[in-house]
Chain A
């Protein structure tokens, strides 16, 4: 089948057995690949009450029909149950690993069971080998990648976990191609729970394309659209994601000191412009990507990539820290130890406020960067206070009797946009199927960046419709396993064209959008069966009661209840946020 290698392999690490899964045509049509197909496979394999670390919990890594073919399509999608939230979790990473997996002849992997001893998977065009990883267990991600590269004769991609994943930190990441991360929701810990240290992939097989001439044209069109869009064609290229620091701060939405404020007075010193002037040594790009938003950087002691916008915030404004070098070092350490920067920084910020309130025993003060790297290490190794911080902010704040100080939704920390400054983004956070997440519906795009057009960021009118639309489009694009940045420049109508040119299928834009809607509803159904409902679609009380006191978003709070009612109705969910039977039937779920 064009666009596919027709091979998704289930590997049971308990038994060592491998089995090629047969994907029904109807299932593939309804869920395509990546986040959609992984969700469907997961739903069919795992019960709703399964624990993230249960041997029977599946960890699914999937590519999509465009992987290895067009711009940004080197990515892969990871799906499992999250040890941080208990929800269904999808996490995605850029780089080249997905393309290498595909070119080795595999559309994806379904990993079940648990190996007796640490192992890694070696994937080549010849097949999949389960190999001992005892020599690399305990190594950080960069050491692991280097050691596996050294034992291979080819230009492989490595996806692996670091010590955080081995130690089952519930927000451990999977790292690949050095500094690319499937960062959120603890997929690295699920991998660690299976004693799976790494996966290497390399191949040179060609992925068949239905219309090669059409492909050439659409690749050119994609380049034009990327180039013309002010976000993808200019700011991301010039400053990377860090270009958002000054923008979001100017909008009074740059969360400062655990979201107590929306303006960080020292933002300029940790901005994308400052990075360009100081620590940046070059740009880096994922598979065939003309944007090249990655920043190669260098501190006095180390070299690496980043920090990205979210990380600058998490170790910067969120902690009141204005030391770019310290933020960058903390970022490098997270990458090496394999841990999510957003949850790590936000949890430290929560601990700082707990200390400020006099309930946290260890001295952690706003603006103090002296122990930042050590704190990250302590979390990854669950040492000292790191053992507490490794709980994530929700459980940490509950433990110290101040649950309201955790800036999280469904157990996952809210990223770097204060929702009081953008009502649509607030609704998107609240209703994200994986918790406090900006990726499942990036309303900052119309509310702040004006892409594809500006919406009044303070108004709640029309926001339910646009949030649902953006969530569904994002889910659809995740089935193609493309970079979200393409969504700034490319409409779902054009994504449909790309899909049809590669596969030879005849999707309409409405059918592709319906795939996204189906995914969003199935995720919701799984979560509701696991006990999630309206009570979990709620922002921390800070955003509902405490007005911002300075900057361009001052005097604002989130009006969540009004938006939620409208959103549920629009979605075809009941007043408790549960999909109705007729909705599921209409979506063929």
Chain B
């Protein structure tokens, strides 16, 4: 990772703007920035796809639209229709949210079919499946990855950025280990600086979803001057999902799951979770 290539990093970033408050001016800026900095795509809401496609005319930047976003609780038919319309309007990639509740209920056929309907409706566009890892146990993440591959998806993706927390190295590694090499892994949510980005790439991410792409690239220019220092390991708690487990935002069972992960952690003796 010491030979850090900023151009290659840019080509891994989905330059993202998904806030409901963002109007056309923001989307135009997003597109202009993506062209200027060489990001692979702009990741936007379906309502902005047509406009973004027009702004990106003649450039290599592609449009990525989210579907069933951010909760994933629409019916499969609606998700498929939403994806089809987005592709018709110019989207080359679709980031769909799975039905998290169905997965946690063990309704695997439903989840697989939900993804499959979107994959079929999106073709030839590629589909990334957002697992919303913050609401899943490790076991459920593995299952969701398997279902995504079985349904024909091209990527698995960690987070919407609207959940209890975003991407963690722990989850990216697990996803990378579960899917075959030709399936991509996208880390998204909370990737806000170049060290976050490097950590995710080192864990196996092939794509990054972030609204901080410009900050990441500019910050990454500092890396070459002191690579060893920047690569000093983090306090394990700082990069552990268990540390972000918030009682108010997580279902009780998941909060207990993460709490147990923390209690059993080998680093617990050395690092005081609440004061580090």
A491 — which chain B residues lie within 8 A by C-beta?
A: 218-219, 221-222
Asked if A462 contacts B229 (CB within 8 A), the reply is yes
A489 with B218, Cβ < 8 A, contacts A228-B212, A454-B238 known = yes
Could you tell me the distance in whole angstroms from the C-beta of B40 to the nearest C-beta in chain A?
Answer: 18
Could you tell me the distance in whole angstroms from the C-beta of B31 to the nearest C-beta in chain A?
Answer: 13
Asked if A466 contacts B219 (CB within 8 A), the reply is no
Q: Mark B187-229, 1 if CB is under 8 A from A, else 0.
A: 0000011111000000000000000101100111110011011
Chain A residue nearest in CB terms to B239:
A454
* Cα distance A384–B276 in the bound complex, in angstroms: 47
* Cα distance A453–B194 in the bound complex, in angstroms: 6
Asked if B222 contacts A228 (CB within 8 A), the reply is no
Asked if A469 contacts B226 (CB within 8 A), the reply is yes
CB within 8 Å of B: which A494-533 residues: 494, 509, 513
Chain B residue nearest in CB terms to A464:
B229
Asked if A462 contacts B195 (CB within 8 A), the reply is no
Asked if B232 contacts A451 (CB within 8 A), the reply is no
Q: Mark A452-469, 1 if CB is under 8 A from B, else 0.
A: 111110110111011001
Chain B CB within 8 A of A224 CB: yes
Asked if B235 contacts A456 (CB within 8 A), the reply is yes
A455 — which chain B residues lie within 8 A by C-beta?
A: 229-230, 232
Q: Mark A401-434, 1 if CB is under 8 A from B, else 0.
A: 0000000000000000000000000000000000
Contact among A451, A509, A513, A554 for B219, CB-based, below 8 A: A451
Chain B CB within 8 A of A552 CB: yes
A454 — which chain B residues lie within 8 A by C-beta?
A: 193, 195, 234, 238
Q: Mark B227-253, 1 if CB is under 8 A from A, else 0.
A: 011101011001000000000000000
Asked if B215 contacts A465 (CB within 8 A), the reply is no
Q: Mark A476-491, 1 if CB is under 8 A from B, else 0.
A: 0000000000000111
Contact among B221, B222, B232 for A459, CB-based, below 8 A: B232
Could you tell me the distance in whole angstroms from the C-beta of B239 to the nearest C-beta in chain A?
Answer: 10
A452 with B219, Cβ < 8 A, contacts A224-B33, A225-B214, A458-B276 known = yes
Name the prevailing secondary structure of the B interface residues.
Answer: helix
A463 — which chain B residues lie within 8 A by C-beta?
A: 229
B192 — which chain A residues lie within 8 A by C-beta?
A: 230, 450
Could you tell me the distance in whole angstroms from the C-beta of B187 to the nearest C-beta in chain A?
Answer: 16
B193 — which chain A residues lie within 8 A by C-beta?
A: 450-454
Chain B residue nearest in CB terms to A460:
B232
Chain A residue nearest in CB terms to B33:
A224
Interface centre among B196, B218, B234, B235 (most CB of A within 10 A): B218
A513 with B225, Cβ < 8 A, contacts A455-B232, A456-B235, A491-B218 known = yes
Could you tell me the distance in whole angstroms from the C-beta of A237 to the nearest C-beta in chain B?
Answer: 16
Chain A residue nearest in CB terms to B196:
A453
Chain B CB within 8 A of A235 CB: no
Could you tell me the distance in whole angstroms from the C-beta of B267 to the nearest C-beta in chain A?
Answer: 13
Could you tell me the distance in whole angstroms from the C-beta of A513 to the nearest C-beta in chain B?
Answer: 7
Asked if A229 contacts B229 (CB within 8 A), the reply is no
Chain B residue nearest in CB terms to A455:
B232
Chain B CB within 8 A of A268 CB: no
Could you tell me the distance in whole angstroms from the C-beta of B214 to the nearest C-beta in chain A?
Answer: 5
Chain B CB within 8 A of A70 CB: no
A224 — which chain B residues lie within 8 A by C-beta?
A: 33, 214
* Cα distance A454–B219 in the bound complex, in angstroms: 11
B214 — which chain A residues lie within 8 A by C-beta?
A: 224-225, 228
Asked if B215 contacts A469 (CB within 8 A), the reply is no
* Cα distance A554–B235 in the bound complex, in angstroms: 17
* Cα distance A455–B230 in the bound complex, in angstroms: 7
Chain B CB within 8 A of A560 CB: no
B212 — which chain A residues lie within 8 A by C-beta?
A: 228
* Cα distance A554–B272 in the bound complex, in angstroms: 12
* Cα distance A221–B36 in the bound complex, in angstroms: 10
Chain B CB within 8 A of A493 CB: yes
Asked if A452 contacts B222 (CB within 8 A), the reply is yes
A456 — which chain B residues lie within 8 A by C-beta?
A: 232, 234-235, 238
Asked if A465 contacts B226 (CB within 8 A), the reply is yes
Could you tell me the distance in whole angstroms from the C-beta of B38 to the nearest C-beta in chain A?
Answer: 14
* Cα distance A106–B194 in the bound complex, in angstroms: 41
Asked if A490 contacts B229 (CB within 8 A), the reply is no
Chain B CB within 8 A of A492 CB: yes
* Cα distance A459–B230 in the bound complex, in angstroms: 12
CB within 8 Å of B: which A187-238 residues: 221, 224-225, 228-230
Chain A residue nearest in CB terms to B226:
A465
* Cα distance A554–B275 in the bound complex, in angstroms: 8
Could you tell me the distance in whole angstroms from the C-beta of B2 to the nearest C-beta in chain A?
Answer: 14
Asked if B226 contacts A466 (CB within 8 A), the reply is yes
Q: Mark A431-456, 1 if CB is under 8 A from B, else 0.
A: 00000000000000000001111111
Asked if A225 contacts B218 (CB within 8 A), the reply is yes
* Cα distance A494–B220 in the bound complex, in angstroms: 12
Asked if A462 contacts B275 (CB within 8 A), the reply is no
Could you tell me the distance in whole angstroms from the C-beta of B21 to the nearest C-beta in chain A?
Answer: 15
* Cα distance A451–B230 in the bound complex, in angstroms: 12
Contact among B195, B218, B230, B275 for A490, CB-based, below 8 A: B218
Could you tell me the distance in whole angstroms from the C-beta of B11 to the nearest C-beta in chain A?
Answer: 19
Asked if A552 contacts B275 (CB within 8 A), the reply is yes
A469 with B225, Cβ < 8 A, contacts A225-B218, A489-B218, A494-B218 known = yes
Asked if B232 contacts A462 (CB within 8 A), the reply is yes
A466 — which chain B residues lie within 8 A by C-beta?
A: 226, 229-230
B276 — which chain A residues lie within 8 A by C-beta?
A: 458
B196 — which chain A residues lie within 8 A by C-beta?
A: 453
Could you tell me the distance in whole angstroms from the C-beta of A462 to the nearest C-beta in chain B?
Answer: 3
B33 — which chain A residues lie within 8 A by C-beta?
A: 224
Asked if B229 contacts A465 (CB within 8 A), the reply is yes
Could you tell me the distance in whole angstroms from the C-beta of B244 to the nearest C-beta in chain A?
Answer: 14
Chain B residue nearest in CB terms to A456:
B235
Chain B residue nearest in CB terms to A231:
B215
Q: Mark B148-167, 1 if CB is under 8 A from A, else 0.
A: 00000000000000000000
* Cα distance A459–B234 in the bound complex, in angstroms: 9
* Cα distance A465–B230 in the bound complex, in angstroms: 9
Could you tell me the distance in whole angstroms from the C-beta of B250 to the nearest C-beta in chain A?
Answer: 23
Question: Can you offer 28 A-B residue contacts whose CB atoms are under 8 A?
Answer: A224-B33, A225-B218, A228-B214, A230-B192, A452-B215, A452-B219, A452-B220, A453-B193, A453-B194, A453-B195, A453-B196, A454-B193, A454-B238, A455-B229, A455-B230, A456-B238, A458-B276, A459-B235, A462-B232, A465-B226, A465-B228, A465-B229, A466-B229, A469-B229, A490-B218, A491-B222, A492-B225, A513-B225
> Which residues of B does A touch, CB under 8 Å?
33, 36, 192-196, 212, 214-215, 218-222, 225-226, 228-230, 232, 234-235, 238, 275-276
In the A-B complex, the 6 residue pairs with the closest CB atoms: A452-B219, A462-B229, A453-B195, A465-B229, A491-B221, A462-B232
Given A221-B36, A465-B226, 18 extra CB contacts under 8 A:
A224-B214, A225-B214, A450-B192, A451-B193, A452-B215, A452-B219, A453-B193, A453-B194, A453-B196, A453-B230, A459-B235, A465-B228, A469-B229, A491-B218, A491-B221, A492-B222, A493-B221, A554-B275
